[in-house]
Every structure is written in structure tokens, then in C-alpha cells.
Amino acid sequence: MTAVSRMGPADGHLPNGHLPSGHLMERMPAVRGRLTADAPLAPVTWFRVGGPAEVMFRPADADDLAAFLAALPAEVPVTVIGVASNLLVRDGGVPGVTIRLGRGFTDIAADGMLLAAGAAALDLNVAMVARDAGIAGVEFLSGIPGTIGGALRMNGGAYGRELADVLVSATAVARDGRRLEFSHAGMGFTYRHSAAPEDCIFTGAVLRGEPGNPLEIARRMAEISDKRADSQPVRSRTGGSTFKNPAPEISGGHKAWELIDKAGCRGLSIGDAQVSEKHCNFLINNGTATAAQLEALGEEVRRRVFEASGVTLEWEIKRIGVEFSPSPPRGEGRDEGVRRQPDAPADGSPSPQPSPRGGEGDMADGGHA
């Protein structure tokens, strides 16, 4: 695999031999940011697994993003990633264009009790700016290892609060390049979900806190950090909370980790993919796990929980890309050796079968889903 990067106008003048004829890179419009062909994604995901992005685009700013999307052929699929902390990239990689927002989307500014943050701003950094400005009520963001864009997409929450509690408005760019703005009501927040169009890309948000003592805010953030370290496998290759907590009326008041534990899945493994013994709503990569093994393990957990309790767990981790398959013979289409991996049913049995591993660990709910 040869990665080719370029900045500036995408005029199709690429070094001979660097890319096969007909590569998607040849169809990319002019940009001010960076375009990269066959960009490795595994190094940027917390699981450290997954295939490459067919094309990666890092826009310079919102104007660059909007112009790119307006000029990009409508049939080219677009996928957006952040810091990839709650993401599983399948082993065959991600077809089309993968967009990752960078420095042009990381600004954070406090004005009274309002916080304006770019979509690529880390949740922790937003909480730290709020602390220094004496803005309380957003400490929970320090316990979410992601970005504001990700929190907007899934109504991110932890330790008793969620983004819906503090959001004023959000900005985004539509797939056709139109600039969008959403009010709080327009986001249609529910548990770990927003009703904003799936194909829009968030660029920023305005949050509202309340007056607070910086020392008290710092104390609360330290408590969150300690609880997270005590109850979650924060030093492991993980993707965060794997499954959403089911509605209490469905689960009998049990959280996802409790249902997983009751189904005997703590420590369950497929190869180096394992259900964490410390917090069994986390999957971890102990070394050489593949995305396929991690996803199969998650589906096996869903199957066992359904058999044990009748509850169908819903994935919280976002899964993107296609399943790996050997490359087609030279001369055949680029995508002919790859097939899409559909979501497995709750009662489906993956292959290979997992084997039990480990014993009882600390049963704790770290608050992040």
C-alpha cells in the first residue's frame, strides 16, 4: 500500500506509479487542507485495529470543508471520524472519503457562562477551559474521551449528565456543502442519540454552564478522573462503552454491564479480543486482535445476554468500513474483493466461538454509558 498525500489544488497531477489508474484520489476537488490516499486508520483508533481510508481529507477550516463537499461527486460515500475513541474500523478499511477534523476546529472560548467550541475540541479541554473561567456544569465532559463533534452526534454523557443538559446550539455542514445551524430543540436529543441528519458534519457548538468556584470545579473533575481510572480499563486498547444501557422498563433496571456479567461474559475472549474483567461493558485488544474478532466477540455477548435475559443490547461503539477479503486479481475492480459486513442479529452466533477467560473482577459502572 502506497500512501500519497497532497495539499492545495487537487488537479490530478500525481507522481507516476504512486496510485493505480482510476483511484478515487483522481476525482478529488481542490482543497486547502490535506488529502491522503490509502491512509492508515488503525494507528489513530483506540483499538489499534482496522484497514485504511480510501481517501482521508483533513479540511483547513469550515469553509474548506463546505467547498469540498459541494464539489465532491454525490455518489462518493463520506465517513466522519474524530479521535476514534468509540469507534471500530473494520479490517477491509473505509471506502470513499473519510473526513477527520483537525486544528481548524479545535478553538474553545468562554464568554460569560457560554462556551464556544469547535467540533474537534477534546471534551476534556472544554471542561478545563470551563474550569478556568469559573463555569460549572460541564465537568462531566472531562470523563468522556472524545470530541465535541462526537458528543453532538451521540448526545455524549457521563456521571449523571449529558450534552443535552448544556447545549445551546450547534453548527454543521451538509453533504452538499450547505451550512447548517441547529437549536437545542432541533438536535432532537434522546439517550445516546441525536436526530440531526446522519450525513451532516458538525463543526462547532455553544454550551451554557453556570457560575462556579474554579477550585470546586477542579475537585469534581479530579473525582471523575479517579472514578474512571478505578472502574474502567483506561490503560488498555479499548473503544469505551460497547453497548448502550437499555431502558429500565426493558432491562428491569439493570445496566448493560450487569446484564453482560449475569450472562457470564466477563473475561470472554476470541483470540486477543476480550471482554474486560474490570468493566465488562468494555471490549479490549490484548495485542493482536482484529476488528473482525472484536466485532464477533461483541455479537456473541449480545447473543448470550439475549438468551439469558431477553434483552437485546444495542451497540454504542460506532462500527464503520468493510470486512477484509483478499485483493482481487490485478485488473479487476478495486472493491470486488471486499464485501460489506452487515450488523449481525442479536441471536446470531459468530464464528469462531469464543472461549471463557479470566475470573471475577471489580463490578463497577464508570458512568460513561
- The pLDDT of residue 347: 37
C-alpha dist (Å) from residue 334 to 80, 120, 127, 185:
22, 32, 44, 43
Checking if the pLDDT of 191 tops 70, the result is yes
pLDDT at 272: 97
Q: What is the mean pLDDT of residues 304-326?
A: 94
pLDDT at 7: 52
Mean pLDDT of 172-176: 98
CATH of 26-103, one of 3.30.43.10, 3.80.10.10, 1.10.3210.10, 3.40.50.280: 3.30.43.10
Does residue 352 have a cis bond before it (omega within 30 degrees)? yes
Are 366 and 279 within 8 A, CB to CB? Answer: yes
Say which residues have a Cβ less than 8 Å from residue 329's Cβ, sequence separation at least 6: none
Selected catalytic residue, list 32, 34, 192, 357: 192
In the 8-state DSSP scheme, what is residue 303? H
Q: What are phi and psi of 190, to 5 degrees?
A: -135, -175
Judge whether 54 counts as a catalytic residue: no
Question: What is the average per-residue pLDDT within 245-274?
Answer: 96
How much is the pLDDT for 323?
93
Do strands 179-183 and 210-211 pair parallel, antiparallel, or not at all (unpaired)?
A: unpaired
Q: What is the pLDDT of residue 230?
A: 87
pLDDT at 142 over 90: yes
Checking if the pLDDT of 294 tops 50, the result is yes
**What does pLDDT average to over the chain?**
86
Domain ranges for the chain: 26-103, 106-215
The yes-or-no answer on residue 327 being catalytic is no
**Which is the catalytic residue, given 241, 269, 276, 309?**
241
Query: What pTM was estimated for this model as a whole?
Result: 0.81
Q: Does the annotation count 192 as an active-site position?
A: yes
**pLDDT: is 151 or 337 the higher one?**
151
Spot the catalytic one: 162, 299, 300, 316. 316
CATH topology of domain 106-215: 3.30.465
CA 204, 317, 194, 126 torsion-angle sign: negative
| pLDDT for the residue numbered 235 | 84
Please give the pLDDT value at position 327: 60
Tell me what pLDDT residue 354 has. 43
